[in-house]
Amino acid sequence: MRHTNKNLIRAIIDNLPDDEKVKYENHFPKSLSEKFGKLEDPDKQFERAIAYVTGHGRVQSDKRAIVWFRRAALQGHVKAQFNLALMYWHGRGVELNTEKAVMWFSRAAQAGNAAAQSNLGYMYSTGTGVKENEREAVTWYLKAARQGHAVAQYNVALMFLHGDAVPQDPPAAAKWFASAAEQGHTLAQFQYATLLAEGLGVTQNNRDAGVWFCRAGANLSPVLQMKIGLRFYHGNGVDRNPHVAALWLCRAANAGCARAMFNLAMMKLAGDGVERSPDRAKQLLRDALAMGYSKAAKFLDWLDENPEWEKKFCAEMEEGD
């Protein structure tokens, strides 16, 4: 009979809303364990949930995973709380519910989970599932950042850079960008390189700026790759190097950046950092124009009417911003 009662109580609890489950657990943890015996090991419940999520050793089922994440989470399993929050956030195996995601991220964050702290910071920052509160956001970002969470370090660096909910503090921004950059966070690498190039919050250093721009570049958007190329072309905060500039502009152009096509065409016309090729330049200008970059039309007309202008086109290279 005791076994039947235990299963009945478990079934009842499993079908309660999460906030009610939490209240039940908080008010009656001892009486439950005393009356119905030990609950199943939460580590095993968590492992079972992961097996259902991944389909390793079990038929993949997000709905079944939710059941086991919830059971472990209600026993205080921090990783289960974090994963349950993710499932609610993304609507996997359950109806999307950002409020419940916040609730479970909060519980995991209070237990010291850095990823949950970072996500909670994001939700407060954006007003996702909770009232927007930049001060709460920076509090949770800082907790995660101090544990070495790269995304949190990047986000808290942005807040110090722009003075969002904290006093503007470029040196603090540089410190956190550097920490995230060292862990391979691409946007942090780009931002840290920018601070080094401009001497903002850190001693200006052309060489180190160039190194960090190049580390970040491969994983950046074509627009940011184009901006790196223009920095190297003009020597803007980095040592001038037209050859490196051409490499980044070529990469951005190949990825469909019209501005990169235009600027690479200027270099092709002048033979600066690349082999001079008016024909290739014209093709790049036509490609840029086809993508809506109207500035290219003027230079195509000039090339047709005034071939002698070709050598002067290096002066038309755009600035990076």
Tens of pLDDT along 53-89?
Answer: 999 989 999 999 999 999 999 999 999 999 999 999 9
Instruction: Work out the average pLDDT over 27-48.
Output: 63
Nearest residue to 197 (alpha-carbon basis) of 247, 249, 237, 151: 237
Q: What whole-number distance in Å separates Cα of residue 232 and Cα of residue 272?
A: 12
Percent of the chain with pLDDT over 70: 83
Identify whether 318 is part of a domain.
yes
Q: Check whether 316 has a pLDDT greater than 70.
A: no
Which pLDDT band, with edges at 50, 70 and 90, does 31 fall under? Answer: very low
Average pLDDT over the chain reads: 88
- Residue 314: inside a domain, yes or no? yes
- Rounded to whole angstroms, the Cα distance separating 89 from 86 reads 5
> Mean pLDDT: which of 29-33, 41-45, 200-204, 266-270 is highest?
200-204
CA distance 8 to 34: 16
Cα–Cα distance between 42 and 125 in angstroms, integer?
Answer: 32
Q: How confident is the model at residue 314 (pLDDT cuts 50, 70, 90)?
A: low
Q: Is residue 81 situated within a structural domain? A: no
Contacts of 84 (CB under 8 A, 6+ apart): 66, 69, 70, 73, 104
Asked if the structure places residue 249 within a domain, the reply is: yes
Residue 305 domain-assigned?
yes
Whole-angstrom distance, CA of residue 110 vs CA of residue 85: 14
CA-closest candidate to residue 241, choices 255, 223, 229, 224 = 229
- Structurally, the chain folds into a number of domains equal to 1
Is 244 inside a domain boundary?
yes
Residue 27 has pLDDT above 70, yes or no: no
Evaluated on CA atoms 163, 165, 171, 175, the torsion sign reads negative
CATH of the domain at 297: 1.25.40.10
CA atoms of 216 and 187, how far apart (whole Å): 7
For 145-238, strand residue ranges (E) read none
pLDDT at site 299: 86
Whether 270 is covered by a domain: the verdict is yes
- Give tens-digit pLDDT for 166-187: 999 999 999 999 999 999 999 9
Given this model, what pLDDT does residue 270 score? Answer: 87
pLDDT at 254 over 60: yes
**What residues make up the domain containing 288?**
221-321
Q: What is the pLDDT of residue 198?
A: 97
**Helix, strand, or coil (residue 3):** helix
**What confidence category does residue 301 fall into, taking pLDDT thresholds of 50, 70 and 90?**
confident
* Mean pLDDT value of segment 233-253: 97
> Quick one: residue 97, left, alpha or beta (phi over 0 = left, psi -120 to 50 = alpha)?
beta
With a cut of 80, say whether residue 319 has pLDDT above it.
no
Output phi, psi for 38, to 5 deg: -65, 135
The whole-number average pLDDT for the span 224-239 is 97
Phi, psi of 224 (to 5 degrees): -70, -35
Residue 7 is assigned to a structural domain of this protein: no
CA distance 159 to 121: 12
Interval 151-165 mean pLDDT: 97
